[in-house]
Amino acid sequence: MEELVALPFQAGTVLLSYADDLALVVTGRGDRLCKTQRALDLITAKCEKLGLKISTQKSRAMTIKAANPVCQLRVQGIGLAWTDPLPVPRGGARRRLSFTAQLDYLRERTQARLNVMRAMTRLNAGATFSVLRL
């Protein structure tokens, strides 16, 4: 897997691996579909060289924040099926999908720690000026 992850992909293309599973992520502007197909061709060639087999039955293609393209990506000459990133929640559940609460919590925890650090490093408490200069 290390040899696959280390392949020379174009900018904005990264191959993630976990155990024997791979996820190809292509970001950026321009024709991402062509970049993705080139990366898939590179991965396919390397897998063939290493004697690995890609399970095209389990492989899927997904777009995020974009409509699924009309054309298909191909691996070993077989077209990949397009899938939706997440099932669409019903009712108001979609509005509740937000990281605001988590961000507020992290901001509060970080602010508390920063306040302690500031109190410890004041000139009249905690560290002396010579320590603060370092």
Over the stretch 15-24, which tens digit does the pLDDT of each residue have? 888 878 888 8
49 and 109 within one domain? no
15 and 57 within one domain? yes
**Contact in structure between 78 and 56 (CB atoms under 8 Å):** yes
pLDDT confidence of residue 127: 54
8 and 57 within one domain? yes
Provide the domain limits for residue 115: 98-134
119 and 66 within one domain? no
Residue 30 CA to its chain's centroid (Å):
19
Over the stretch 39-85, which tens digit does the pLDDT of each residue have? 889 988 988 898 888 888 888 888 877 777 878 888 888 888 888 77
Q: Determine how many CB atoms are found less than 10 A away from the CB of residue 36.
A: 20
DSSP secondary structure letters along 52-108: ----TTT-EEE-SSSPPPSS--EETTEEPEEE-SSPPPPTTHHHH--SHHHHHHHHH
- For residue 74, tell me if it sits in a domain: yes
Strand partners, 26: 13
pLDDT: is 103 or 38 the higher one? 38
Number of independent structural domains in the chain? 2
pLDDT confidence of residue 91: 55
> pTM higher than 0.95, yes or no?
no
Residue type, 58: K
